Chain A
Amino acid sequence: MSGNELTALSIADLQSLLRRREVSPRELLDALRTRIEAVDGDLGAYVSFDVEAAIKEAEHANVDLPLGGVPIAIKDIINVMHQPCTCASKILNGYRAPYDATVIQKLRAAGAIPFGKTNLDEFAMGSSTENSALKSTRNPWDLSRVPGGSSGGSAAAVAADEAFGALGSDTGGSIRQPAALCGVVGLKPSYGRVSRFGLVAFASSLDQVGPVTNTVRDSALIMNAIAGHDPQDSTSLKDPVPDYVASLGNDLRGVRLGVPTEYMIEGIDSQVRVESTPQSDSSIPSERTLLKSRCPTLNTRSPFITSLPPQKLPRTSLASTACVTGVVLKILKTCSIFTAARARKVSGRK
């Protein structure tokens, strides 16, 4: 299998190769490095990566663990021991994290190898990854376009096969929106599900760390590793964590999805509009049912996110933001806080 074929695999497919000893974690790192060196000059998804440190970890990786031997890219706002954590700002130049964030400890405990720090809008404040003080990230589908943000580096890296999966962080759309713009899966977990210890804060009562991956299964694998209560984060939830992987494949018949009519604003992509417009009469019973719902406060979502912490106004259009938004504010509590972007594989991906 060539390096480019390897880097295009899902985490789930990688695991079978790793466990059959058909590929080694070291070979995965080499394939990623080659891929990054080939395409990241154009994309700018990574701000740093430490191959030597990752190779050392790969040498004693236990591939039988849930994420054993799988390199995972990390948004550069999450502390990874001994690595820089720039938050895409120049004011943290020279800083090296003296500890691992809880999500990194949990990834390591599941056998994953944190590899590479991905670009973002400075301190996660932005929606295009153009507000990075280090460089802009481009959208791998079309280099003239933005990848979204603030987890634009993570989304672009996964979409361009520069990472098998990545962690992002989401306050007001920073995982969901770039995942949608890059055609990958992104999940903002419910607040409290994932520890924020070691995540540099943007708005503490809204921030969550979550996965960015090529498939829903891969996001479930990462959620299984990172979710759960953490004594270091007093706002993390003590509730039992479901097995996300085991819950995959559940029958969705009868599940009804509410689509706020407020999302259907001027400027929205016509295909998005068509596919997410509720059909009053669903003729195929196995199809998910989309229902019209109302969320009248949605149009004040941007002023909210702007007023919580001082923040530059998003440069991407309200339309693209609105289609994936869902802020966890009490006033918006009737809205879903999950918007997992469905992976849409576009031809000519490579």
Chain B
Amino acid sequence: MAGTSDLDVAYVARLARINLTEDEEKTFQKQLEDVLKYVEKLRHLDVTGIDATAHTLPVFNVFREDAPREWFTAEQALSNAPRQANGLFIVPKVVE
């Protein structure tokens, strides 16, 4: 795990395309460092003999029949789209 001092909130905010004021950067820097310190406690756990577990049930490779079935119409699927055209979502350009 990276040391808490490595956390660069301004950089993370740029990656997430969130505009933060300087004050907000300071606030979140402090808050996130606190969270990381808190999570640091997990390092002190003795997990010897405990298997890594994704979830609690012995359920693996759940497949269904590859058959067509009733599902959303395009109209239903697009019912919450802020903008749409030709049955497609229109979203802001994010990749230059």
Residues of A within 8 A of B (CB): 94-96, 98-99, 191-192, 204-206, 231, 234-235, 237, 297, 300, 302-304, 306-307, 310, 313, 328-331, 333
Contacts and interface: CB of A to CB of B under 8 A. Distances in A.
Mostly helix, strand, loop or mixed at chain B's interface? Answer: loop
B47 interface: yes
A153 B77 CA distance: 29
A99 B70 CA distance: 13
B80 A96 contact: yes
A234 B62 contact: yes
A330 B52 CA distance: 8
Contacts of B59: 192, 234-235, 237
Interface in B72-89: 72, 76-77, 79-80
Contacts of A333: 56
Contacts of B14: none
A228 to B, nearest CB: 15
Interface in B5-60: 34-35, 38-39, 41-42, 45, 47, 50-51, 53-57, 59
* 3 shortest interchain CB distances as A-B pairs: A205-B55, A234-B62, A330-B53
Given A300-B41, A303-B39, 15 more contacts: A96-B79, A96-B80, A98-B79, A98-B80, A99-B72, A205-B55, A205-B56, A234-B59, A234-B62, A235-B55, A235-B57, A235-B59, A300-B42, A307-B42, A331-B47
B35 A313 contact: yes
B22 to A, nearest CB: 22
Contacts of A306: 35, 38-39
B51 A330 contact: yes
B93 interface: no
Contact of A303 (B42, B51, B55): B42
A7 B40 CA distance: 48
A110 B39 CA distance: 43
Contacts of B80: 94-96, 98
Nearest to B72: A98
Nearest to B52: A330
7 contacts: A96-B80, A192-B56, A297-B45, A303-B38, A313-B35, A330-B51, A333-B56
A154 B63 CA distance: 35
Contacts of A206: 55
A205 B79 CA distance: 29
A206 B55 CA distance: 8
Nearest to B45: A300
B64 A231 contact: yes
A331 B57 contact: no
B57 to A, nearest CB: 5
Contacts of B34: 313
Contacts of B41: 300, 303
Contacts of A300: 41-42, 45
A269 B18 CA distance: 42
A96 B79 CA distance: 8
Given A231-B64, A307-B42, A331-B50, A192 B57 contact: yes
A196 to B, nearest CB: 11
Contacts of A328: 56
Nearest to A328: B56
Contact of B57 (A94, A237, A313): A237
Contact of A98 (B42, B56, B62, B77): B77
Contacts of A304: 42
Nearest to B76: A98
A297 B57 CA distance: 21
A101 B38 CA distance: 35
Nearest to A304: B42
A189 B76 CA distance: 31
A43 to B, nearest CB: 29
A205 B54 contact: yes
Nearest to B47: A331
Given A98-B77, A99-B76, A300-B45, A191 B55 contact: yes
B38 A191 contact: no
A333 B41 CA distance: 19
